[in-house]
A and B are shown apart, each in its own frame.
Chain A
C-alpha cells in the first residue's frame, strides 16, 4: 500500500499547489479592497498550510487503531465545540452564520470542519463495535442515527445547510457500508430528505436560492448572480482558458471567487484541461482511498479509510456540482483548493490518517484479517 499512499499524497500535493496558485490569482482583488493587502488571503492560507503539514505527519504516525479509543472523546469535544460556536459571546457570526470560534487574535476555527472527521471516526468505531448487531433496527439504525443527527443538527443550527447535507449523507452511507439494512436507510433517507426540504422552505433565503436555481435568468441580478457568473466563467474559459491571472469574473463578478467558487476561476483561466483535470484528480484520490480501504487490516480501518475518502470526494463533488449549476448554491469549499484554514487543516489531517491506514496494512502483511474475513 506504500505506492498507493504515495500516489495519494502526490495527488493531494498537486491539488494544494493548484489551490495556492489559484488563490494567488483570485484573492488579490478581495484582499486589496477588504484589507488593503493584495496577499492577505495568500499569507493566511500559507500559514494554515504550515500548521497543517506537521499535523499530517503526526496523523500519519499515530496508529489509526488508537482512534478507536479516541472516538468517544472526539465526539464529545466536537459537540462541545459546535455548541460553543452557537453560543453568543464565544462564537463568531459572519454573514448571519455562527460557524466560528475565535482562536487567538487572528484566527477563527470552524468546528463543523472537525465534525466531518469526527463523524467518520465515530461511526467507523460504532459500526465496527456493533458489527454483529448492525442489522438490528435499534442498534443498527436508531442509535447511530441519533448520534449522527446530534452533530448534523448542531451544524444545521449555525445555519450551515451544505455541511449538514454533507455530513448527513456521508454518515448514512457509512452506516450502509457498516451493515445497516438498506431498507431502513432508504426510509430514513427519504423522510430525512423531506424534513430537510421542509426546513429549507422555512428559510426564505435558502428557498429563494432554490427558486433562483430553477430559473436562473429571472434572478440574474440577485440570487442567481453568482450561479450565472460561475457558468459564464466556464463558457468564457473554453477549452484552453483565458490564461492564468486573466480572469475577469474574479473582479467582483464572483463574490466568492477565492473560496466556494474558486473552481469557476480555474475553469475560466486554465480551461477545460484544468477543470477536468481537477475532477480526474479527485476521482483518482477516491480510487486510491477505496483501494486503501479494501486492503485495510481491520474493519475499523476499512470504514474509516472509506469514510475519509468519501467525505472529501463527496464535498468536492458537491462543490463542483454547485459551481457548474447542477445543485442550488450552498456554502461548501472545494477541498485543498478553496481558501479556508480550518478546512485545509482538517482535510490534511484526515489524509494523514488515511496514509497511516495504508502503511499499517503493509506492516501487518498483505490482507491479514479483513480480506481473509471477507473470504470466510
Chain B
C-alpha cells in the first residue's frame, strides 16, 4: 500500500491546510478589530439619508377670512419602466394611465417604454381621488408620491395682489412673494438610513423633526369689494375699448388697501401659461403721466403754502396762454376763474398760474411730501417709484406742465395715496395689503399698524380742498358722472395724452378719476385708470362713471350713512325743477 516515503503526505497537506485556516482567522481578527473609524465614517455617511419634509404652506385670506390661497394634498404619479417592461404589461398600464389621467396614450407610452429607467414622472399634482382610483387597480410599477399643490379657489380674483407660488413652493408674485418668509413655514427633517437601492429603512429612523406649517396671511382686502371693482373694470374695458385698466380702493384713516385690481388678469391656478405682461400689477407697477388729477395736489400745495387764497381769481386767457415762448391750451376756453373754478373746470392755464405763484422750490417740496417720485412702501413686490425730476433740471415752463400732470409720472397707488392724504386731514398714510399674520397655533406673529408717513398739508387746507374737489362732481364740473345719489363725492378727473417719441400722442390717452367719499367725512378713496380708451374719451366721460358704479355698491356694502344735507339738497333741487 502506501510506501513509507509517502506517509508524510497527508499530515503535510493537513498542516498546510490548518495554516491557511489560521491565516484566515488572523485576517478576520484584523478586519473585525482593526482601525475602523475611517471605514465606519465612510459607511455611515453613504448610508445616512437626510430627507427634507416639506412644510404645508400657509393660507392667504381676505379681511373676512375668505380663503384665497391654500395647499391641497395631491399626488405625483410616476412609473418604474424597468418593472413594467419586465412584467410585460406596458400597453395595459399605458392604456389605464392615459384613460384615468386624461393624457395622450402616445405620451404615456413614451414614458413607460424606457428600458432600464426606474423613475419617470407621468403626471404631477394629480387630485387625490384620481390617484386613489389608479391605486385601487394595483398596477405593478406605478407609484405615487404624496405632495401638496397650491390652489387658488377664487381663480383670477385678486390675482395681482395674491400672486402665486411656483412648483418649488416659492412665492413668486404678489403677497405670495412678499410674505414668503411667513407663508413657507419651516421644513422638517428626517434622518434615517437607506438600503442599497436608496430607499429609506423605516425602522432605522434616528431623528424626525416635524415640519412647521406656514403661517396664514390675512389681507386688508375685501373679496366682495374686489369682486365689484373687477366686474366694473371688465365692463369698462368692454364699453370703452381700453387696452388695460386698473383701480384701487383705500381706507382713508388707516391707509389699508380694500381692493386692488388690474386688467388684463389671469387665473392663478394657470400662472405658468401666462405672459409676464399679464402678470404685471399695473396699479403699483405702471408709471404714467397723471394729467389733470395732479392739479388737486398742486392747488392743495399752493393753498397750504399761502401762495394763493381760495377766493383769488386768475385770468384763464380764453383757452390759449403763451408763456415761456410756448402756448398752453385749455380743453375748453375759460375767462376769469377762482380756485374753485380752476379745479372744477380743470383749467390748465389756471393751474399753471397757481404753480407759478407757488414757485419751483415749494412745488417740488410739497410734491415730495405727498410722496411723488418715490415708492410709498406698500407691502407688495413690484412697486414703481414714479418720476419727478429734481427742480435743478426743470426748465422755465416745467412748473406749468407739472401743474397739469405732465413732465411727471406716478403710479395709481402713489396718486391715490396722495389724494387720500387730503381726505385724511393731511396725514399721508403708508398703504398696506397685509393686515396680520397668524401662525398655525393661532398666535399673531405679525401685525400691520396704520403708519403716518408725512403730513404734506394742514388740516384746514385738507378740509378746504375737500370742498373744492366736491365741486368737480357737481353741476358744471368735469366729473359730474362720478356723482352719487345721497353722497357728496370729492374727486378729480384726469385725461393725459400718452407720451410718444418727440411729444405726445393725439390718438392714445390715459383717462382717470381719483376721489373719495363722503366728501365731509371721507371713508374710502378710490382711483380708476383706463389705458387708451377708444375712441378718445376724457377721464370725466370714462373713468368717472366707473367710479360711480363701484362707489354706488361700495357705500351700501360698507354701510356708509348717506349725507343728509346732500340728499335734502338734491331732493330740493329736483322739486324746484318741477
Contact = CB atoms under 8 A, between A and B. Distances in A.
Contacts of B24: 279, 317, 320-321, 324, 326
A31 B188 CA distance: 34
A237 B1 contact: no
A166 interface: no
Interface stretch (B32-40, B90-98, B166-174, B265-273): B32-40
B475 to A, nearest CB: 88
B137 interface: no
Interface in A292-308: 293-294, 298-299, 302, 306
Interface stretch (B2-10, B322-330, B483-491): B2-10
Interface stretch (A97-105, A151-159, A173-181): A173-181
B25 interface: yes
B332 interface: no
Contacts of A320: 24, 28
Contacts of B9: 176-177
B18 interface: yes
Interface in B177-198: 193, 195-197
B125 to A, nearest CB: 30
A177 B197 CA distance: 49
B2 to A, nearest CB: 6
Interface in A192-219: none
A282 B21 contact: yes
A299 B20 contact: no
A338 B29 CA distance: 22
B1 A232 contact: no
B17 A234 contact: no
Contacts of B47: 248
B32 A313 contact: no
Nearest to A225: B196
Contacts of B25: 276, 279-280
B435 to A, nearest CB: 52
A254 B43 CA distance: 13
Contacts of A369: 1
B205 interface: no
Contacts of B40: 235-236
B573 interface: no
Given A248-B47, A279-B24, A374-B2, A235 B17 contact: no
B27 A177 contact: no
Contact of A232 (B4, B20, B21, B43): B43
B31 interface: yes
B5 to A, nearest CB: 9
A239 interface: yes
Contacts of B33: 238-239, 272
A83 B20 CA distance: 34
A290 interface: yes
Contacts of B36: 235-236, 238
A235 B14 contact: no
A314 B193 CA distance: 37
Contact of B32 (A176, A179, A267): A267
Given A131-B1, A373-B1, A234 B14 contact: no
B197 A252 contact: yes
Contacts of B32: 234-235, 237-239, 267, 271-272, 275
A354 interface: no
A251 B195 contact: yes
A282 B24 CA distance: 11
Contacts of B195: 29, 248, 251-253
A29 B1 CA distance: 54
Given A131-B2, A279-B25, A177 B10 contact: yes
B contacts with A: majority SS: helix
B13 interface: yes
Contacts of B18: 283, 286-287
A310 interface: yes
A373 B2 contact: yes
A310 B17 contact: yes
A317 B17 contact: yes
Interface string B446-464: 0000000000000000000
Interface string A22-41: 00000001000000000000
A179 B2 CA distance: 8
Contact of B27 (A131, A326, A374): A326
B418 to A, nearest CB: 68
B135 interface: no
Contacts of B4: 374
Interface in B245-280: none
A15 interface: no
B564 interface: no
Contacts of A350: none
A231 interface: yes
A354 B13 CA distance: 18
Interface string A321-348: 1001010000000000000000000000
A370 interface: yes
A123 B298 CA distance: 119
B201 interface: yes
B28 A317 contact: no
B82 to A, nearest CB: 13
A331 B201 CA distance: 29
B228 to A, nearest CB: 61
B179 to A, nearest CB: 44
A37 to B, nearest CB: 15
A275 B20 CA distance: 15
Given A231-B31, A235-B39, A299 B2 contact: yes
A87 to B, nearest CB: 27
A313 B17 contact: yes
Nearest to A234: B31
A294 B11 CA distance: 9
Interface string A105-140: 000000000000000000000000001000000000
B196 A267 contact: no
Contact of B28 (A131, A283, A324, A373): A324
A128 to B, nearest CB: 9
A293 B27 contact: no
A267 B28 contact: yes
B298 to A, nearest CB: 76
A173 B20 CA distance: 15
Nearest to A286: B17
Contacts of A131: 1-2
Contacts of A324: 24, 27-28, 31
Interface in B36-54: 36, 39-40, 42-43, 47
Nearest to B197: A252
A320 B17 CA distance: 13
Contacts of A370: 1
Contacts of B13: 173, 176-177, 306, 310
A314 B1 contact: no
A284 to B, nearest CB: 10
B10 A251 contact: no
Nearest to A324: B27
Interface in B98-136: none
Interface in A232-289: 232, 234-239, 248, 251-255, 267, 271-272, 275-276, 279-280, 282-283, 286-287
Interface of A: 29, 131, 173, 176-177, 179, 231-232, 234-239, 248, 251-255, 267, 271-272, 275-276, 279-280, 282-283, 286-287, 290, 293-294, 298-299, 302, 306, 310, 313-314, 317, 320-321, 324, 326, 369-370, 373-374
27 contacts: A234-B28, A235-B31, A235-B32, A236-B40, A238-B32, A239-B33, A248-B47, A251-B195, A251-B201, A252-B196, A253-B196, A254-B196, A267-B31, A267-B32, A272-B32, A279-B21, A279-B24, A286-B17, A287-B18, A302-B2, A306-B13, A310-B13, A310-B17, A313-B17, A317-B20, A324-B28, A374-B2
Given A238-B32, A248-B195, A253-B196, 16 more contacts: A131-B1, A173-B13, A176-B9, A179-B2, A179-B3, A232-B42, A236-B43, A272-B29, A272-B33, A275-B28, A283-B21, A302-B2, A306-B13, A317-B24, A324-B28, A373-B1
